[in-house]
Amino acid sequence: MNREVRKAEKADFEAVRNIMNQVQEMHVEWRPDIYKSNESLISEEIFDLMCKSGNLYVAEADGKVVGVLEIDYKHIESPAHVTRDVIFIVSMAVEASYRGQGIGHLFFEKVKELKTIAGADAIELQVNAKNRAAYEMYKKCGFTEKSINMELK
């Protein structure tokens, strides 16, 4: 299988929207008290802006878009924290039929490359507590827990 990660383009909109909707439905299933079904998580206009930002990537397998990655560059500076530059993974999603086939690892290789280019100190992300498969993949890729979000209803 020929696979690559590249910057997202306008023509990728439908594939990206479908992948994002699949992931949204997983979140709805896990936490219907927080997430809701929504066929239009992202408009074409917002997608175009995201593409222009240069921070949106897609994974292709044999010419088909099978994953989407959004990153953000953050400069952290405050009296309470050491000054750091971080690449934050805003969202990473893989087409259901391609999960477990190394697409997430491809995305991490791209983000590691971007970290080196930017001279960033770290890569950070958040993961849904119900998403054990993603959590285990992140650990396998070297991520460690930094903080844990909790709630009281």
Answer whether residue 12 shows pLDDT above 80: yes
Taking residues 32-55, report their average pLDDT: 91
CA within 13 Å, CB half, 132: 0
CATH number 3.40.630.30 is the correct assignment for the domain at 3-140: yes
Residue pair 42/16 in contact (Cβ under 8 Å)? The answer is yes
CA dist list (Å): 50 to 8, 56, 153: 9, 6, 34
Instruction: Give the pLDDT band of residue 8 (cuts 50, 70, 90).
Output: very high
Q: Is the whole model's pTM more than 0.85, yes or no?
A: yes
**DSSP string over 8-25:** --GGGHHHHHHHHHHHHH
Domains of the chain by residue range: 3-140
